[in-house]
Structure 1
Amino acid sequence: MNKMNKSNIVLIGFMGSGKSTIGKALAQRLNYSFIDSDVLIEDRIKMPISDYFKHYGEEKFRILEEEIISQIALTSEAVIATGGGVVKNPNNISNLKNNGTIFYLKGSPEHIFENVKYDTTRPLLNTGNKLETIKSLLKERSPLYESASDMIIDIDHKSIEEIVVSILDCMRGKVI
């Protein structure tokens, strides 16, 4: 299989786009290791990211995230699920691209809302109107996701298996 000449597969996208779920399924299919940057961060800080945000703020979190991403980027034959804001730091994308092909899991605000509407662990979405917050953040981040990605995978109205197959087809060089 042509792995686009890169060892890792990196999944980026908005929170709630399924990066972890799809990443685990894809890693299993490829017999790759699975790495979730948010899980590694929580292991390091010994608390949920939402608590870290409350106590230390987003800026300190992004510094920690960059440190973790620079370490993850050195691995090989891994599927890497990143946090939704990883694209806010160009160093993260540069590090991940060194040994990875980046797939943007692109979902509509409505699709993402359906995935996160009952989730209270996402600090940036703890607002009075989650859907409007998602729309606003997506408007800001979509150009970053698109410019950072090697391939864009539309996730709306697709099963996990269909998304995994789309990624595998891209890796094999098929046009979707």
Structure 2
Amino acid sequence: MILVLIGYMASGKSTIGRILAKKLDYDFIDLDDFIEEKEKMAVSSVFKTKGEIYFRKIESQYLKEIISEKANIVLSLGGGTPCYNSNMDVILNANNVKSVYLKASIKTLIDRLKNEKSKRPLVAHIETDEVLTEFIGKHLFERGQYYNQASKVVSTDDKAETVIIDELLFELF
């Protein structure tokens, strides 16, 4: 089986994904890291040198590759992955895939992002919490229709990682 973790940046996909994979004795794949390895450059460099359209195209190709060739993995997607190129349909229609939306409130996302904005190119330029709140709120509104199609939705607000993992295991198995 492949467990696909979906959600906004800083919702916990990579952190929870690594812990969950270890607990299940699965491999963990972060789609952005996979793309960087295949393209031999950082995602931000792919965006800068080849553009977003190219990035979204290869993102879809690599997603399909992973889903068709791998098993027993936890796959963490980029926040935008489900929203482009019918990627959500690919995830939902694959026989060997269960998807989970790690849902975090705007407040939780701001608390997590405000101290690590420099590591997040999408929000690095945002200077105030008010603008960040508006930015995240707009994105969540736009992306919610994709995220909410996941097989399961698990809230990550005010929960310890171990609680989220236990909830996921209960929901999925």
Q: TM-score, normalised by structure 1?
A: 0.87
Q: Pairwise mapping of residues 118-133 of structure 1 onto structure 2 (< 5 A)?
A: 118-128=116-126, 129-133=131-135
Q: Secondary structure at the match of 1:104?
A: strand
After superposition, the C-alpha distances for 1:45-93 in whole angstroms (9 at most, x for unaligned) are 2222122223333221111100110111121111111111111125322
Q: Secondary structure at the match of 1:123?
A: coil
* Cα offset, 1:156, TM superposition: 0.4
Q: Which residue of the partner structure matches residue 145 of structure 2?
A: 143
Q: Which residue of the partner structure matches residue 3 of structure 1?
A: none
Contact 1:50-1:122 at 8 Å conserved across structures: no
Contact 1:35-1:80 at 8 Å conserved across structures: yes
Task: Determine the C-alpha separation between the residues in 2 that align with 1:48 and 1:83.
Answer: 13
Q: Which residue of the partner structure matches residue 79 of structure 2?
A: 84
Task: Determine the C-alpha separation between the residues in 1 that align with 2:49 and 2:109.
Answer: 26
Equivalent of residue 107 in structure 2, options 95, 104, 110: 110
Q: Secondary structure at the match of 2:59?
A: helix
**Match of 1:136, as an amino acid?**
K
Task: Determine the C-alpha separation between the residues in 2 that align with 1:58 and 1:131.
Answer: 24
**Match of 1:122, as an amino acid?**
R
After superposition, the C-alpha distances for 1:4-50 in whole angstroms (9 at most, x for unaligned) are xxx11110000111101100100111111111111001112222212
Task: Determine the C-alpha separation between the residues in 2 that align with 1:27 and 1:152.
Answer: 18
Moved more, 83-92 or 20-29: 83-92
Residue segments in structure 1 that go unaligned for 5+ positions in a row: 1-6
Q: Which residue of the partner structure matches residue 23 of structure 1?
A: 17
Output the aligned Cα RMSD. Answer: 1.5
After superposition, the C-alpha distances for 1:102-151 in whole angstroms (9 at most, x for unaligned) are 0000001111122222232323223333232111111110121002x000
Residue segments in structure 2 that go unaligned for 5+ positions in a row: none
Q: Percent identity?
A: 35
Task: Determine the C-alpha separation between the residues in 2 that align with 1:25 and 1:53.
Answer: 29
